[in-house]
Each structure stands twice: as C-alpha cells, then as structure tokens.
Structure 1
Amino acid sequence: MKGKLYLIPTTLGDTPIDQVIPKEVQDLIPGLKHFIVENIRTARRYLKKVDTKINIDELSFYELNKHSSPNEISGYLHAISENNIGVISEAGCPGVADPGADVVKLAHEKNIEVVPLVGPSSILLSLMASGFNGQNFAFNGYLPIKSEERIKKIKQLESRSLNENQTQIFIEAPYRNNKLLEDLIQNCNSATKICVAMDITMESEFIKTLPVKAWKNQDIDMHKKPTIFLLYREK
C-alpha cells in the first residue's frame, strides 16, 4: 500500500511544544521513519523535543533546500511506496514560503496522498492579529534588496492595497528588518497602516498596528528577530 506524505508543523522559535503543536501531531511523529527536511540538524533537535524516546539513528533524512535538484526530490519519494514520510520545515508549516512546496507538488503528480497537519503559521497568525482585511490579502515574500527597487515595490504594494482593499504581507532577512521599517515609514502615506509582528508565539512576542505617522515615534529593535510586516491602506 502506498504511503502518505505528512506535512509536519514545527515551532516558530523556542516556544514549548505543547503550546503550539497539537497532541495528535506529536503522537503521529514517532511512527514515522523517513523525513524530508529543510535542515537535518534542526529537524533532529525538533524530533527529540517532541519525544525524547525517538531513536534518531534509526531514521532516514533527506535534505530539501534551494540547492536540491528535481531529480533528487523525486528520489526522496521512492521510500513512500512502502512508508509514510514526514516533511519538516525550518520553522512553522512546510510548503508555505518554504521549499517543501516542491515535494508536495511532485507528490500530487505521483498521486501520493498529501496530509497537512495543524500547527503555527507566522503569516496567518500575523494577519489574524493585525486588524487588516482577512478576506483579501497577498503574501509577497521578500522585497527587493536594492534600495531603489525596494522603494518602488513598497509604493506598488501600497497602491495595490488601496485600489484592491487588499492586505499586503511580506518579510525581510532578519538583519535587515530595521531598515525595512525605516523605508516603509519614509515612503508610505502617513495614513497607511503598518503591522509589525515579531517573535510570534514566543515570550518576547511583539505585535503592533499603527499608522505610518505614529510609527515615527516608536523605538523598536527587530534586528535578527523573525518578523512579519503587513501593510494596509484604506480608502
């Protein structure tokens, strides 16, 4: 009987397992012996946190990242002919802003059953907490690195939010977070609202929504902290 591909959520940081990972997911994990993971070291550490009795040496890991070729990814699914396989991202839910989407796509092409499991998604959690439009939104991934291109993109997103009544969601490399907020403040309309959602689900969690003009008076340090940015311009 053909196995299933389980999409296994992980914590977004050092959050206690029981706080964000359902018991049903924790109970399922020890029964899996094959894992497709974004980072083997991170995955091993997570599995031991889920169940200290898991024998890591008995497990098979296949690394999936931006360097993985289509042929490699196809080979990862060979074991599924007789076994269930789990996909584990670096943080949060696999397949969302994550290379796990490539193996999920291939699984569908091979008529393999894909089973998404419940867990934390920083993108959806930030949207829930923002107060912005949750019926019409877009996740844009990373904005351009070059200053001129990034500013142009910010203005495009602001215009799209206004014209389409759409929440714009994006992220940045953690060491460039402060610069991105600075660019938003300097280039968006003063009435445009920005939500900063940092360290979601952790003790240091910070989530605040303010118009641009109010962000100018805020003192916040996001350097090297996982952060989601949301932009919303109402008519």
Structure 2
Amino acid sequence: MYGTLYLIPTTMGECDLNRVLPSYNATVVNALQHFIVEDIRTARRFLKKVNREIDIDSLTFATLNEQTRATEFGDLLKPLLEGKDVGVISEAGCPAIADPGADVVRLAQEKGIKVVPLVGPSSILLSLMGSGFNGQNFAFVGYLPIEPHERGKALKMLEKKVYSENQTQIFIETPYRNLKLMEEIIRNCTPQTKLCIAADITLESEYIVTKTVAAWKRQLPDIQKRPTIFLLGK
C-alpha cells in the first residue's frame, strides 16, 4: 500500500503561524518523517516553528527545485512507494502553485498515490479576494516576458482579455524588478484600466490597493523588493 503525499503550506514571511495555518497542519507535520522541499534550510526553520521539540536530525529531506532534473523525480517518490507518508514544503505559501512541487504531484497522481492538499495561504487567491475584481473568471499567467517589447505585447493582450472576456489577469515579477514592471504597465495599459497591487500578503506590512492606471501614474507604490501580486481588471 502506498503512502500519502501531503502538500504543506508555509507562511509567506515572518508572521505568527496561528494567523495563517490551522492547527491540524501541525498534527500532520509531526507525524511525518520524510519531506520533499524546495530549500532544506528554509524547510528546517519552518518545521522548528511548527514544533520546537521536533527532532530535525531524524527527518529525511529530498530537494525539489528548478535545478532538479526530470530523471530525478522518480527517486522522490520512493518513500511513498514503500508505504511511507511524505510532506511537500515550498519556499512560501502553497506547494504546487507556481511552484516546482507540481511536478512530483503529477507523478504521484499518475501512480495512483493519494495526494492531500492542506489548507494555507495562497497569495494569488488572497490578492484576488482583496482586489475587487471578477473572482468568477480569472487567469494566473505567472511571469511576463523579460524583453521590453515582448512584455509590452503581453500586457496589451492581457488588458484586452480584461475587457473582451471580463477576465481578471493575475501575474508576478521578481521583487527587485517590481517598479520596472509598474512603469511598463503604466506605459502600455490604458488610463482607465484598473490595477491592483498586492504586496506582503498576510504580513504586518500587507498592502492591497486598487486604482486606475492613471491614478498609479501620479504616485507609484513602494513595492521594490517586496513579494507582490499584480492584477488587471475593470
């Protein structure tokens, strides 16, 4: 009998675990001995927050990140195939959402391994909830092209979908390039289009504000080097 693959959400920065994670998650974590993680040091620190008494050195960690080769995915499933439960922990938020954890989940599903996603914070959904935009028809498109001309084309295409399909468009950027992206949104999108900036979700410094592109042009937000979700809507 195969083990169960648990998808374990983490905090999205320094905050009280009780604020964003249900107590049941700790019960699951405390019962696990095997983990697939994006970064071992981050995962160990998170597990210590969940349970200060946890014996970290007795746990087994396997790494799954952007450098992991597809040929290595099968090895990650070995404990599961031997009947042992395994937890997946990403750097922040929910595993397998804009996250390499999706690769091991796909393999687990193909092999008939039970997958259990635990409740936790998703910056994508929380930003959508706070934006005031259409929550019944939306798309998360991840990162936009880096090259300015291609990025401009992508922004205009996303804006077109806002109006033609009434579809909220959600995307992200590497934090140190946030202001550059803001400038390109202002340059390429029409003044009446609405843009929601959602930064530091669930943290004390949380910032979720929706304005027209024209209003943002008058005063850019201080979001440089802060994890941010961008949403276009009407």
TM bin (shorter chain)? over 0.9
Number of paired residues? 233
1-structure distance, mates of 2:151, 2:197: 18
Matching residue of 1:57: 57
TM-score by length of 2: 0.98
TM-score by length of 1: 0.97
Alpha-carbon deviation of 1:219? 3.9
Matching residue of 1:33: 33
Matching residue of 2:66: 66
Instruction: Give, as a single letter, the amino acid of the residue that structure 1 aligns with 2:91.
Output: E
- Segment of structure 1 superposing worse, 208-217 or 3-12: 208-217
Q: Could you list the structure 1 runs, at least 4 aligned residues long, displaced by more than 2 angstroms after superposition.
A: none
Please say if 1:76 is aligned against 2:76. Answer: yes
Consecutive unaligned residues of structure 2, counting only runs of 5 or more, are none
How do 1:127-146 and structure 2 match up within 5 A?
127-146=128-147
How do 1:57-206 and structure 2 match up within 5 A?
57-80=57-80, 81-206=82-207
1-structure distance, mates of 2:91, 2:85: 20
Q: CA RMSD in A?
A: 0.8
Matching residue of 1:12: 12
1-structure distance, mates of 2:11, 2:87: 15
Matching residue of 1:2: 2
Alpha-carbon deviation of 1:217? 2.0
1-structure distance, mates of 2:69, 2:188: 39
1-structure distance, mates of 2:28, 2:116: 12
Consecutive unaligned residues of structure 1, counting only runs of 5 or more, are none
2-structure distance, mates of 1:103, 1:152: 33
Alpha-carbon deviation of 1:114? 0.2
Matching residue of 2:233: 232
Alpha-carbon deviation of 1:82? 2.1
Q: Per the alignment, in what secondary structure is the counterpart of residue 27 of structure 2?
A: helix
Alpha-carbon deviation of 1:67? 1.5
Please say if 1:220 is aligned against 2:221. Answer: yes
Calculate percent identity across the aligned residue pairs.
60
